[in-house]
Structure 1
Amino acid sequence: WHTGKEWIEGGTLVERINFVAEKVGNLDLPGVQLIVERMKAGPDNMSPEEFVDGCLDLIGPVQVSESSRNSLIEYAKRSGDIQRSSANFPQRVTEMLQLIVATAEYQYA
């Protein structure tokens, strides 16, 4: 029974990503709700960097490459200002969590 990287191939990797992305995208799950609530703590406005780093810390903590982190930050910037009090903040958190769990760094951690 292999438990290391050698057993992960394209099909199983996609299954792993889809499984965990479905879980972290479900706002009905208590653990996801807790992450969102912890992300809401602090001043209303967040920089994209603070947002990404907060999500990385709360889901792991996960250390990603500079390239992956920059991609996550660019995605966060595309959706505009990040305000903890906004109605779409929980959705933004779950979307970022889904992107994080799809990274190679998360999958191979």
Structure 2
Amino acid sequence: PGIGDMSRQAGYMGQDLLNPPSVEGWHTGQEWINSGSLMRRINFTADMVGDVSRPGVQAIVDKLKAQGDITSEAFVDTCLDLMGPLEVSQETRQELASHASAAGTLGWGTEDEVRRSIERISEMLQLIVSLRDYQYA
């Protein structure tokens, strides 16, 4: 997407670029997020982190790859740290770790393992950006 489209995306999510709702400036937190803007925010961020060709996503992949074989808990914690750092409840962390462990450890030995690991990282990032904790951070 071009710069014009990117600036319009903020407006679709309830915050027009360089156009605050009042002279007080921008509202923060839950004040300006409604169900429609929340869905737009989730979809937008999931699309962004779902594109593994983006430099930021590639940097996250590279950092995880540099760690080699890591546990599902370390995988989740690293993703949460790189996406924030983001504090989540123990229940949420456990759900993410359970999801991560279902497919085993990340593998980097063969092209197929690399492809699957990158897909899993992208999927985990999409799950994280869809969390309430992320959207209200």
Fold-level similarity (TM above 0.5): yes
Return 5+ residue gaps in structure 2 as ranges: 1-20, 22-26
Give CA deviations for 1:23-54 in whole Å, capped at 9, x if unaligned: 00101111111110011112x32111010001
Decide which structure has the larger Cα Rg and report it. Answer: 2
- Could you list the runs of 4 or more consecutive aligned residues of structure 1 that deviate by over 6 angstroms after TM superposition? none
Deviates more, 1:72-81 or 1:17-26: 72-81
- Distance of 1:65 and 1:48 partners within structure 2: 16
SS at match of 1:63: coil
The answer to whether the 8 A contact 1:46-1:83 is kept is no
- Distance of 1:57 and 1:84 partners within structure 2: 21
Corresponding residue to 1:40 among 44, 52, 65:
65
Return 5+ residue gaps in structure 1 as ranges: none
Spell out the pairing of 1:1-109 with structure 2 (5 A cutoff).
Answer: 1=21, 2-42=27-67, 44-85=68-109, 86-87=113-114, 88-109=116-137
SS at match of 2:128: helix
Equivalent pairs: percent with the same residue? 47
Q: RMSD over aligned Cα, in angstroms?
A: 1.3
Q: What's the TM-score, normalizing by structure 1?
A: 0.91
- Distance of 2:91 and 2:69 partners within structure 1: 25
The answer to whether the 8 A contact 1:36-1:93 is kept is yes
- Alpha-carbon distance change, 45 to 95 in structure 1, aligned in 2, over 3 angstroms: same
Deviates more, 1:78-87 or 1:5-14: 78-87
Deviation at 1:84, TM superposition (A): 4.2
- Distance of 1:66 and 1:41 partners within structure 2: 26
Larger RCO (CA under 8 A, 6+ residues apart): 1
SS at match of 1:45: coil
- Number of residue pairs the alignment of both structures matches: 108
